[in-house]
Amino acid sequence: MKNNRIVIFLLMGILAFTGCKKSDTPIREDAWAQIEPVPAVIVKIDNSGNQAIDLTNLPGFLGKFNVSMYFAGAKTPPKVDIVVRKNGSNSNVKLFQANVTTFPSAITVTAAQIATLFGTPIVLGDTYDFGADVYTDGGSKYEAFPIGSIGAASGPVNQPGYSAFVRYGAICAYNPSVFQGTFRVVQDDWEELGVGETVTLTQVSANQFSMRWNAPSSNVVNPIPVVFTVNTGNLAIKVDPRAQMGDSYSWAPANYGRPYIAVTENVTQSFVEPCAQRVTFVGTYSVDLGTFSGAWKTVLVKI
């Protein structure tokens, strides 16, 4: 990387080493004319912005990233164009911002801008990569995401602190405001909540909500809130240790005592879905006298 530059070799033939002298450089003098220096531009995320696109709060997304030179004091290109690639496809690249001439430059992006640029809504699992098409003094353009070849910024990709592009993925992050309000029961294998009935969820904290077994068909006497804790990393939920549901079951003998539920954290069985606004959990049930065998699934959807 002599003179703090990345060079792209555009050699049209095979370099022969016959006739080399000890004073020759590794690349023969007549080959240098075919080599065009391309400044190393870095595109790096600004952690003061959002790191992903939360589908539960699209208007709140504001991505921030910086475009600068990798080598301090290096000669800058006459300009770069900021482009964005969708879902890793080099055949689906759009121009986001043309003619960036100041380095470093701070760039911001919103979800509305992305959706408008590609003409389709952002959906779960989408990824959007922002990179720089680099122009040289000679008028050439080296694309960030060319079809059929490596990108302009691929040279120092494994060097410390280097970033050729930034990526924003569309996710459904946990949003506590989703999991409060009225939810319809679509399944309850324990049969304490009738399908089609409703229950109310209440936000307790940034990663907790509560629920009461107070639907019309419920046999829980004097139901009290049961608090569910959400693992915001994988959206699994739990009630651990067991939580009291109320004073008793109306169908149970008096000596059964108070009813309880426990939900083990298991992301494949008990979880929330922020985009679908749905809660699924598999509970085990017990009373003061003992534990009922088996585990039962409940599914709730917000209305």
Same domain, 144 and 43: yes
Structural domain of 203: 181-302
Predicted pLDDT of residue 157: 61
Q: What is the pLDDT of residues 54-109, one digit of tens each?
A: 999 999 999 999 999 998 888 999 999 999 999 999 999 999 999 999 999 999 99
CB atoms within 10 A of CB 11: 10
Same domain, 43 and 136: yes
Burial state string for 231-266 with b = 16 or more CB within 10 A and e = fewer than 16: beeebbbbbeebbebbebbeeeeeeebbbbbbbbbe
Q: What is the pLDDT of residues 229-245, one digit of tens each?
A: 999 999 999 999 999 99
- The Cα–Cα gap between 127 and 170 comes to 6
Q: What is the mean pLDDT of the chain?
A: 88
Note whether residue 235 is domain-resident.
yes
Q: What is the DSSP letter of 236?
A: B
Same domain, 162 and 226: no
Predicted pLDDT of residue 4: 37
Note whether residue 47 is domain-resident.
yes
Predicted pLDDT of residue 24: 55
Last residue of a domain, one of 110, 139, 171: 171
Predicted pLDDT of residue 12: 32
Residues of the chain with pLDDT under 50: 1-18
Q: Give the pairing type, strands 166-171 and 53-54.
A: parallel
User: C-alpha 275: how far from its chain's center?
Assistant: 13
First to last CA, the chain: 60
Note whether residue 36 is domain-resident.
yes
The reported pTM is: 0.73
Q: Which two tokens stand for residue 55?
A: 């589908």
Residue from 255, 241, 237, 246 nearest 297 by CA: 237
CATH number for the domain that contains residue 205: 2.40.128
Same domain, 162 and 187: no
Same domain, 131 and 10: yes
Same domain, 164 and 240: no
Same domain, 162 and 191: no
Instruction: Give yes or no for a cis peptide into 160 (omega within 30° of 0).
Output: no
Predicted pLDDT of residue 161: 80
Residue from 234, 124, 129 nearest 172 by CA: 124
Same domain, 34 and 73: yes
Note whether residue 176 is domain-resident.
no
